[in-house]
Chain A
Amino acid sequence: MSKATLVFVLRRLLQVIPVVLAIAAFNFLLLKLAPGDAADIIAGQMGHATVEFTQQLRREFGLDLPLWEQFLVYMTRLLVFDLGVSHLQGLPVIDLILARLPATLILMITAIFIAVLVGIVLGVAAARRQGTLADNLISTLALVVYAIPAFWLGLMLIVLFSIQLDILPSGGMVSIGAGHTGLAHVLDVAWHLVLPAVTLGLFYVAVYTRLMRASMLEVYGLDFIATARAKGLSEGKIAWTHAARNALLPVATLCGVQLGHLLGGSILVETVFGWPGLGRLVFDALLQRDLNLLLGILFVSSVVVVIANLVVDLLYGLLDPRIVHK
């Protein structure tokens, strides 16, 4: 690693700090904008709380302090990942979130993996046959898929594959009562992952197919492709080893940009399939009007996106050796 690269990596790491602080401050703002505070909510749930009791709750939560002091307390707590307590489950918000985060990450990573892989293959295939029936078919399909709400697609896939054909599970992450361990457990989870991951990934298949096709057509117009043809390389070799490698860059960029979007989609898809990730937690938090938990999820998911963007940025240099960090 050259010195310039090291400086770039360090500087990029430092840039994350103000963004995370801004997200925390924004979270605090939302918390204060909400009508009624935690004490009101708890008092409301108890049904017959007195004014004195509500006041006592306020003192306990520090809600009687001046706003700037509350802000300082909030920010210091966030530094040690203290996101408060979920009012209904009585557990620390961060514990609830961390317990659910792995399932969401598994779903997101699988979906994006499917999307990139299939998107690249279809995009290259379409670009190589530009203007033919196959190209038009791929492009039209991509356009239709682009318009399908993921949560509805999930329901329709359940109808087809779980109810009608009965070949894939309709929800959950493991078979209930099976008690698999080791490899059997992994396979069981993978089995349950098929439908949610395809549902979440399909939209991005369309996105990457369209992008890869456009990007390939652009690269095909460059001089080095003409050189490769003049050398007598086969079209397959030109497409995959010369053009596709260069056409990949915009796809990698978009992957990074769309992580937040992917996480949002994951919430809906998880709700449909009962996948025990952050999405299910959002749904439960909504049902129980658990604002602390909701804001905690917003904070953690934003931080996840910031970190993922950082990783993509750092990996980008590996994909494109032309990038020199100044």
Chain B
Amino acid sequence: MRGLATFWFRFRRNRAAVVGAAVLFVVVLAAIFGPWFYPVDPFDMVGRPYTVPLDQFPLGTDVAGRDILAGILHGARISLLIGLLASLAATIVGVTFGAIAGYYGGRIDDLLMRTTEFFLTIPSFVLAVVLVAIFQPSVTTVTVAIAVVSWPSVARLARGEFIAHRDREYVQGCRAIGMPDWEIILLQIMPNALPPVIVVASLMVATAILTESGLSFLGLSDPNLVSWGYMIGVARTALRTAWWMAAIPGLMIVITVLAINLIGEGLNDALNPKLRK
């Protein structure tokens, strides 16, 4: 518990991070409870197309007369869900790769790191586009595609941490008393290697949300669900007459991504105090 108190004390010192956390909290609340308080189907034609915000509907209607606020609330669910799941999956895969490569070194390290570098070389967004196009857009395929292009950076970082720790005295001590490798990796080194990984993973949620919005802007999103990128894609055709239609979902992306990035910086301050300049 004392660790948590120290963490909060350090995190709180970064004012911007606290603001970020508050903003993200509101977005999360809107995603979870919004559709419940504002029960409008985002695919329903509720009124005339192109109505301006604050007239009949809080944020107006889109080119097909669908309620934009309903789309924003439902879109928040998709953005946050895919952002979190994809980052979580990428972190688990990346940490596993990095831990094994860094701990064992040698041939295994070579093989795993060549694979990692290979995935770092391929233009990630193009690969994500191809993956989603091949396997048909759905929440699952988009999440998996984003995870596939995101894990390598985590792997590299985790590997570095494990290399830094594998020959320390406490690890040698564990080996001396005959502790199995998996226990050393998971229970001894992992807690020490995790703080920088957590920072990168939190920033990855922001990148994942941006990637998801780009994919759905290109039409690569689940056809049965509204997402912010999809809304921008639809609004594109109405840019000349109704610019706010594209502006509103985009602003939501900026606000959410900015909040997550601020939190990531706060986490960095709180978890890696040595790195503070």
* Interface, chain A (partner B; CB < 8 A): 19, 22-23, 26, 30, 33-35, 143-144, 146-152, 155-156, 158-159, 163, 214, 217, 257, 260-261, 263-265, 267-268, 271-272, 282-283, 286-287, 289, 291, 294-295, 297-298, 301-302, 305-306, 309
A155 near B236: Cβ-Cβ < 8 Å: yes
Please give, as numbers and ranges, the residues of chain B lying within 8 Å of A156 by CB-CB distance.
243, 246-247, 250
With A and B bound together, what is the CA distance between A144 and B243 in angstroms? 21
Is B112 among interface residues, defined by CB-CB distance under 8 A?
no
Q: A residues within 8 A CB of B262?
A: 143
Residue from the set A151, A156, A305 with the largest chain B CB neighbour count within 10 Å:
A151
B232 touches A267 (CB 8 A): no
B254 contacts A301, CB within 8 Å?
Answer: no
Binds A, one of B3-11, B97-105, B129-137, B162-170: B129-137
Knowing A147-B254, A152-B253, A271-B218 touch, does A286 contact B118 (C-beta < 8 A)? no
Contacts of A150 in B (CB 8 A): 214
- Subset of 16 A-B contacts with CB under 8 Å: A23-B118, A23-B122, A26-B122, A34-B135, A144-B258, A149-B214, A149-B217, A156-B246, A156-B247, A163-B239, A268-B218, A282-B129, A286-B220, A289-B133, A298-B122, A305-B122
Which residues of B sit under 8 angstroms from A151, Cβ to Cβ?
Answer: 213-214, 217, 232
Q: What's the nearest-Cβ distance from chain A to residue B58, in Å?
A: 21
Contact of A264 among B126, B253, B257 (CB under 8 A): B126
Q: B96 interface residue, CB < 8 Å from A?
A: no
- Chain B residue nearest to A306 (CB atoms) is B121
Contact of A283 among B210, B218, B246 (CB under 8 A): B218
Say yes or no: is B178 at the interface (Cβ < 8 Å to chain A).
no
Number of chain B interface residues as a range: 35 or more
| Chain B residues in 8 Å Cβ range of A23 | 118, 121-122
Q: Say yes or no: B243 contacts A159, CB within 8 Å.
A: yes
Q: Which residue of A lies closest to B251 (CB)?
A: A152
Q: Does B277 belong to the interface (CB within 8 Å)?
A: yes
Minimum CB–CB distance for B83 against chain A, Å: 13
Report yes or no: B118 in contact with A260, Cβ–Cβ below 8 A. Answer: no
B118 in contact with A22 (CB, 8 Å)? yes
Looking at the assembled complex, report how far the CB atom of A67 sits from the nearest CB atom of chain B, in whole angstroms. 17
- Given contact pairs A148-B254, A261-B124, A291-B133, enumerate 19 new A-B contacts (beta carbons under 8 Å): A23-B121, A23-B122, A35-B135, A146-B257, A147-B253, A149-B257, A152-B253, A152-B254, A155-B232, A156-B243, A159-B246, A159-B247, A263-B123, A264-B123, A264-B124, A282-B126, A286-B219, A301-B123, A302-B122
Q: Tell me the B residues contacting A by CB distance below 8 Å.
A: 118, 120-131, 133-135, 206, 210, 213-214, 217-220, 229, 232, 236, 239-240, 243, 246-247, 250, 253-255, 257-258, 261-262, 277
User: Is the beta-carbon distance between A147 and B206 smaller than 8 angstroms?
Assistant: yes
User: Which residues of B are found within 8 Å of A152, using beta-carbon distances?
Assistant: 213, 217, 232, 246, 250, 253-254
Nearest Cβ distance between residue B257 and chain A, in whole angstroms? 4
Inter-subunit contact A19/B261 (CB<8 Å): no
Give complex CA distance A146, B206 in Å: 10
- A148 CA to B253 CA, complexed, in Å: 7
Query: Chain B residues near A26 (CB, 8 Å)?
Result: 118, 122
Given A19-B118, A152-B232, A159-B243, A298 and B127 contact (CB-CB distance below 8 Å): yes
Chain A nearest CB, measured from B170 CB (Å): 31
Contacts of A260 in B (CB 8 A): 120-124
Give the top 4 A-B pairs by smallest Cβ distance, nearest first: A264-B125, A152-B250, A147-B258, A147-B257
Asked if B243 contacts A163 (CB within 8 A), the reply is yes
Report the minimum CB–CB distance from B82 to chain A (whole Å). Answer: 14
Min C-beta distance of B111 to chain A, whole Å: 12
How many Å from the CB of A302 to the closest CB on chain B? 5
Q: Judge whether B214 and A158 touch: CB under 8 Å.
A: no
Asked whether, in the complex, the Cβ of B239 is within 8 Å of the Cβ of A261, the reply is no
In the complex, the chain A residue whose C-beta lies closest to that of B115 is: A22
CA of A305 to CA of B130, assembled, Å: 17
> In the bound complex, what is the Cα–Cα distance between A271 and B253 (angstroms)?
19
A299 to B203 alpha-carbon distance, docked (Å): 29
What residues on B are CB-neighbors of A148 within 8 Å? 250, 254
Contacts of B232 in A (CB 8 A): 151-152, 155
Min distance, Cβ B81 to any Cβ of chain A, angstroms:
18
Let me know if A149 and B130 touch, CB within 8 A.
no
Taking CB atoms, residues of chain B closer than 8 Å to A309 are 121
- Closest chain B residue, CB of each to CB of A27: B130
A302 partner, pick from B123, B206, B257, beta carbons under 8 A: B123
**Bound-complex Cα distance A260 to B250 (A):** 24
Would B243 and A261 count as touching, CB distance under 8 A?
no
* Of B120, B134, B210, the contact of A33 (CB 8 Å cutoff): B134
The reply to whether B125 and A261 form a contact with Cβ atoms under 8 Å apart is yes
Q: How far is the CB of A259 from chain B (nearest CB, A)?
A: 8
Q: How far is the CA of A19 from the CA of B236 in the complex (A)?
A: 39
